[in-house]
Amino acid sequence: MSSRRPYDGWAEAMFGCASAEEWVRGMAWETLAGARQEKPPIGVEALFPARRILGCRYRAGPCEARLMVEHAGFVIETNELRSTPRARFSRAHEVAHTFFYDISSSPPRRLLPSHRSKEEERLCNVGAAELLMPADLFAQTLRQLDMAAGQGFRLGAVGQLSAAFKVSFPAVARRLVEDLGLWDAVLLGCTRTRPRPAEQRRKERRPWPDEPAGDWRLAWCAKPAWAARSLFIPSGSSEGASRPPRIRIKALEQIGRGELRPRGPVTRFEPPSALRLGNLARTLRSVFGAQQGYPVHILPLPLNPGARQTQPASQACGAPKASEAAQPSLDALVCIPIPRRLRGSHPAPRGSHTPACGSGDGRP
């Protein structure tokens, strides 16, 4: 079965790239080099001149950001002028949309006859991650923090990298685990349920009853790309009505009940049967057996009280996105190492080599 995506053939024919992702990453590196952005955090506005973006202007509405084409170039319309992690990702996402235009013409001309698609939105998320967290710079910063792969999973690195690059926790986690493969682990962002007043529950009209205090739910998950086919972690849609999936990890439940009160990172050895989330237990049991203890690293949050860590924008303006305030704050980060022996025949993580692709300005 072919694993090629819809835009891969176009990228190969136009620019000689093996895949559209490779082309997008190459365009991101070219943009960063032109803007001379070599240290974190990357200044998103510093990238604008290289892509003929004239600036940002405020526009009220549910759409966080969208790219407007004008005769002299582009303008990014946004409903958030502050430089929050979510707003930075949304603007970098719009910068990546300019890769699909010939910026040498006035006004810029679309390189593709079709309008924006889900695949283009996904590629722009790839480009935004590369713009805000360049592969080489991200790995170098990780090494400087003494958090490199092979030296253990120190969850404090997620917060330090988030502060250094001014991006959200889930953006850092996915960069560490999914994009660059620096950690062979599953990273979970967890929230703890709290009792709500009856009047508030009636106002929210939630389709499920209030959970008892101490129950844990999954806010987001990052897992290695090579394990995507064999490891299933449910998303919020799996239980209907966007209800976040429940996490059953013994150590987390003890923290929720107050039986375990760690003041910092804690490592517990749990049998696979105590890790109930998707097919995680079955996957680990196939390697270690039912009685084998397995390390689970937990970091209680928030690192900064009152701070909210939210997911990066998944779309440009195709549909309204939830506001930052509507996203739950995290109560814990969980790291579950995934054995390399499970990798099997899965491909190795993507490297940070520069693809031999043509320019993205419409000239192959």
Amino acid at 320: P
CA distances for 88 relative to 47, 95, 148, 151, angstroms: 12, 11, 26, 31
**Segment 324-351 mean pLDDT:** 62
Q: What share of the chain has pLDDT > 70, as a percent? A: 72
Q: Is the confidence at residue 135, as pLDDT, over 90?
A: yes
Q: Is the confidence at residue 39, as pLDDT, over 80?
A: yes
pLDDT bin (cut points 50, 70, 90) of residue 252 is confident
Question: Which residue, 337, 329, 262, is CA-closest to 299?
Answer: 262
Q: Please tell me the least confidently modeled range out of 43-47, 93-97, 205-209, 211-215.
A: 205-209
Q: Is the confidence at residue 360, as pLDDT, over 80?
A: no
**Segment 75-83 mean pLDDT:** 86
**Segment 274-287 mean pLDDT:** 80
**Segment 85-100 mean pLDDT:** 94
Report strand pairing: 65-70 vs 101-102. unpaired
Q: Secondary structure of the chain in the HEC alphabet?
A: CCCCCCCHHHHHHHHCCCCHHHHHHHHHHHHHHHHCCCCCCCCCHHHCHHHCEEEEEECCCCCCEEEEEECCEEEEEECCCCCCHHHHHHHHHHHHHHHHEECCCCCCEECCCCCCCHHHHHHHHHHHHHHHCCHHHHHHHHHHCCCCCCCCCCCHHHHHHHHHHCCCHHHHHHHHHHHCCCCCEEEEEEEECCCCCHHHHHHHCCCCCCCCCCCEEEEEEECCHHHCCCCCCCCHHHHCCCCCCECEEHHHHHHHHCCCCCCCCEEEEECHHHEECCCHHHHHHHHHCCCCCEEEEEEECCCCCCCCCCCCCCCCCCCCCCCHHHCCCCCEEEEEECCHHHCCCCCCCCCCCCCCCCCCCCCC
Write the pLDDT tens digit of every residue in 287-320: 766 667 788 899 988 644 334 444 443 333 433 3
Q: Is the confidence at residue 25, as pLDDT, over 70?
A: yes
Distance CA 266, CA 256 (A): 14
The residue with greater pLDDT, 253 or 74, is: 74
Q: Is the confidence at residue 347, as pLDDT, over 80?
A: no
Question: May I ask the CATH class of domain 8-132?
Answer: mainly alpha
pLDDT given for residue 121 in this prediction: 92
Q: Please tell me the least confidently modeled range out of 59-63, 164-168, 240-244, 296-300.
A: 240-244
**CB burial of residue 39 (10 Å; 0-12, 13-18, 19+):** exposed
The residue with greater pLDDT, 160 or 201, is: 160
pTM: predicted TM-score of the whole model, two decimal places? 0.80
Distance CA 311, CA 299 (A): 19
Q: What is the mean pLDDT of the chain?
A: 78
pLDDT given for residue 101 in this prediction: 94
Per-domain residue ranges of the chain? 8-132, 135-342
Q: Is the confidence at residue 146, as pLDDT, over 90?
A: no
Q: Is the confidence at residue 358, as pLDDT, over 60?
A: no
